[in-house]
């Protein structure tokens, strides 16, 4: 049965990824890059400035930094550690180069979708904050409720169910590999802990995400930096290997350019989520004075995720040559590489790290599903059913095969991205105008403040009537 499902999913994935999505991702990213005048380079200092000033929030609200932390909690997880290892094992070192390219291009896509999420966010009367995302800007901006509903179903299935199975799968394999822990038992334990947190609501998720993501990222990148320093003489050769393999100039990977491109883009998108439509759900929750601010923050998140954290994993693996060993992929490959660098204890250390990384991702993934369940139907019974399904998928993922859960993730991730990329292309003129308004106010020496009257043609905008609505 599992083999039949696997074949069906592989067939659809091949069509989506090789025939359609690559063109949309790269084409859309380049279009947004040109139209924003290369904002990912030009406005990088502004991204750093905005995120630095965004940590404080009004009592009871979600700060821009906390919204960033929720999205980073969903981004920073197994995609950065297991996904990079899978990309290298399947596509060779050249996959890393294409991950970099898709992140740089995709950061412009992330700006567009997150800015739109802020523009079309709505007031959440249950929490006193905001909610929004692609389903909302599809309904309000495009007047296409059906499109928003389709996206809401896809993201709920993708993040709430399938992606959370990927996270629990990675955790249990890592712990079984390091400590011999029974995978099913650990799955039950994770489900119980996870349930205790998610019943606290989005504000508790934001606080946990803010704490976990920052601490983990610093520890993991610090470990990788140490490994780079002790292998500094190998760095030029590793960088050359990545670039040569990406274009087939490295003899060992001469015929693998297509595999490198495909796996680099797949795993890059899974990790940084640029253009997929997931991060805007977190971006919409922030209380901020101008939509472009949150767009800049989320754009920075894409760059940090791939260029810093994913690259850290790639260097750990490539410095050791562990990817050349047969029978190693996913988290086991990264564990083996880290063990070669720092000793046997490092494999156990990574197992604990991946538990915390993936657990933070469970939190971000869960929130994306919940906010879209509420878009589809506001009755609380559906949220309770969703919670039960999420916990069930955490347990399912803990015992199923690696390949099945990752292929399922690719399928739903691809479908989500297609729907979202169409929507943001159609609405992008409002994001471009919002960025222009932001820069105009900046040049005038102001702290930019947005109202819907700043942009011509905006309709169905709820939260930007007066400057005092969002401080």
Instruction: Give the CA diameter of the chain.
Output: 64
The domain total for the chain is 1
Both tokens of 401, joined, read: 């095969």
> Going by C-beta distance under 8 Å and a sequence separation of 6 or more, which residues neighbour residue 259?
90, 91, 92, 95
pLDDT at 469: 46
pLDDT in tens, the chain (471 residues): 656 666 667 777 676 666 677 788 888 999 999 999 999 999 999 998 888 776 555 555 666 776 666 666 556 666 677 778 878 887 888 888 988 988 899 999 999 999 999 999 998 777 677 888 999 999 999 999 999 999 999 988 888 888 888 888 878 887 887 788 889 998 898 888 888 777 765 555 556 555 666 676 677 778 888 888 888 888 899 899 888 888 876 545 544 566 777 777 776 776 677 888 888 988 888 888 899 999 998 899 888 888 888 888 888 888 887 777 776 666 778 778 888 888 778 777 777 777 777 777 777 778 778 878 888 887 888 888 988 998 998 898 888 776 777 777 778 888 888 999 999 999 999 999 999 999 999 999 888 999 988 898 888 888 887 655 444
pLDDT at 172: 86
pLDDT at 210: 56
Q: Of all helices (H) and strands (E), which one includes residue 129?
A: strand 129-131
pLDDT at 225: 83
Regarding pTM above 0.85, the answer is no
CATH assignment at residue 134: 1.20.1740
Burial string for 250-268 (b: 16+ CB within 10 Å, else e) reads: beebeebbebbbbbbbbbb
pLDDT at 7: 66
**Residue-range definition of the domain harbouring residue 153:** 2-469
Q: Alpha-carbon distance 257 to 243, whole Å? A: 11
pLDDT at 470: 45
Both tokens of 96, joined, read: 């890393």
């Amino acid at each position: 049965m599992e083999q039949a499902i696997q074949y069906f999913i592989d067939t659809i994935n091949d069509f989506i990824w090789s025939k359609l999505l690559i063109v949309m991702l790269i084409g859309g990213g380049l279009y947004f890059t040109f139209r924003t005048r290369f904002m990912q380079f030009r406005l990088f200092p502004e991204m750093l400035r905005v995120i630095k000033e965004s940590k404080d929030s009004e009592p009871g609200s979600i700060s821009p930094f906390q919204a960033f932390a929720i999205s980073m909690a969903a981004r920073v997880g197994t995609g950065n550690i297991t996904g990079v290892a899978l990309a290298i094992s399947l596509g060779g070192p050249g996959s890393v180069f294409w991950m970099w390219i898709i992140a740089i291009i995709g950061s412009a896509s992330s700006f567009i979708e997150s800015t739109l999420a802020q523009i079309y966010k709505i007031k959440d009367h249950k929490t006193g904050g905001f909610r929004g995302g692609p389903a909302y800007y599809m309904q309000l901006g495009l007047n296409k409720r059906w499109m928003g509903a389709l996206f809401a179903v896809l993201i709920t299935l993708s993040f709430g169910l399938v992606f959370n199975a990927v996270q629990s799968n990675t955790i249990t394999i890592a712990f079984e590999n390091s400590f011999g822990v029974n995978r099913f038992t650990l799955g039950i334990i994770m489900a119980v802990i996870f349930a205790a947190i998610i019943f606290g609501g989005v504000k508790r998720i934001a606080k946990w995400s803010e704490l976990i993501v920052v601490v983990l990222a610093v520890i993991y990148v610090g470990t990788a930096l140490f490994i780079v320093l002790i292998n500094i003489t190998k760095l030029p050769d590793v960088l050359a290997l990545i670039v040569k393999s990406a274009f087939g100039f490295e003899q060992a990977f001469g015929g693998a350019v297509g595999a490198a491109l495909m796996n680099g883009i797949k795993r890059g998108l899974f990790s940084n989520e640029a253009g997929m439509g997931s991060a805007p759900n977190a971006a919409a929750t922030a209380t901020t004075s101008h939509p472009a601010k949150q767009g800049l923050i989320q754009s920075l998140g894409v760059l940090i995720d791939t260029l810093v954290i994913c690259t850290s994993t790639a260097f750990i693996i490539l410095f050791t040559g562990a990817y050349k060993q047969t029978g190693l992929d996913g988290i086991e490959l990264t564990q083996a590489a880290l063990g070669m660098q720092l000793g046997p204890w490092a494999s156990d250390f990574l197992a604990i790290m991946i538990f915390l990384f993936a657990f933070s991702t469970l939190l971000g993934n869960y929130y994306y599903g919940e906010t879209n369940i509420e878009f589809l139907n506001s009755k609380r019974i559906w949220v309770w059913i969703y919670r039960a399904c999420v916990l069930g998928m955490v347990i399912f993922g803990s015992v199923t095969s690696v390949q099945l859960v990752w292929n399922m993730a690719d399928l739903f991730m691809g479908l989500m991205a297609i729907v979202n990329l169409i929507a943001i292309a159609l609405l992008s003129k409002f994001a471009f105008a919002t960025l222009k308004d932001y820069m105009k106010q900046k040049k005038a020496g102001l702290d930019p403040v947005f109202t819907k009257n700043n942009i011509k043609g905006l309709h169905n905008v709820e939260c930007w009537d007066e400057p005092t609505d969002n401080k």
